[in-house]
Amino acid sequence: MKMRKFVGVLFSLVFCLALYSCPFEEDEAEPVNLSLQPSSSTILVVPGSSSILPSSSSVGPEPSILDCPPEDIAEYPVSEPIPHPPGERIYGWCVPLKLSVEELLFSAQGGVRCIAASVYITSATKVNRDFTGCRSEYEIVSDFPNYINVKKFKKEICPLLFTATKVDDRTLHISVNQNETGNERKILVGISSGDCFYTFTITQSAD
C-alpha cells in the first residue's frame, strides 16, 4: 500500500516537472490598446463645411515662432492712436494695425517668411479672385475667461500657392510653394484685427 502511494506521488512529481519544463512561445506582438480615450489634437473647423478636421499637427509638426527668420520678427511695428473727434462714439472693435512689411518677395523655389503685426490678428485670407481652392481653418479653444468653445483663426491654406499660419497672436508664418507656372505671380492677402482690414502682397518670381 505504501509502495503504491509512493509510486503515485513520484508519478505526479515527474508529470509536474515535465509539464513546467516544456518550452512556451511568447507572443512578441505589441499589446493592442483598445481604450477609447479622446484625442488631444486641436479641432479645426472649415467655414462653409460641416466637416470638422483634425489639426494638421496630427500629421506633421505645426510651424512655430521659432521657424520664422529672425530678421522678419526682430522688431514689431507700433500702432498709432485712433484719430476721432472728442466725444464721438466709435462703433465696432477696430484697432489700427501696422505690418512689419507690405510685400514679401520669394524666388520661384518658394520658401518661408513671417510677417509681424502691431496688434492682435483675428483673421487672414486670400483676396485675389483669380486664385481658387483656398480655405480658412479655425481652432475651437476654451482658453478665454467666460468663453467656451471660441472659434479662433488658425490658418489660410491655398494648396497651389501658400499657407499662412498664425503662430502667435501677432505673427503669421508664410510658407510659399514652388512656382511652376513660368510667370510671376502676386497674391494679395488680407489681415483683419476686429473690424479693421489691411493687406500685404506676396510676390513670387518665375525664376
pLDDT tens track, the chain, 207 positions? 545 555 455 555 545 444 444 444 444 444 434 333 333 334 444 444 433 444 444 456 899 999 999 999 998 998 776 665 565 555 556 777 889 999 999 999 999 999 999 988 888 998 988 888 899 999 887 766 666 777 889 999 999 899 999 999 999 999 999 999 999 999 999 998 877 888 999 999 998
CB-based contacts of 182: which residues, under 8 Å, 6+ apart? 206
For the chain, give every domain's residue range.
Answer: 43-80+94-204
CA dist 61 and 131 (Å) reads 27
The candidate with the shortest Cα–Cα distance to 199, out of 117, 90, 105, is: 117
> Is the CA virtual torsion 93, 99, 105, 109 positive or negative?
negative
Say which residue the cell 462714439 belongs to: 89
User: What does DSSP assign to residue 194?
Assistant: B
CA dist 12 and 54 (Å) reads 61
CATH top-level class of 43-80+94-204 = mainly beta
Question: Looking at the whole model, is its pTM more than 0.75?
Answer: no
> Is the CA virtual torsion 155, 158, 159, 161 positive or negative?
negative
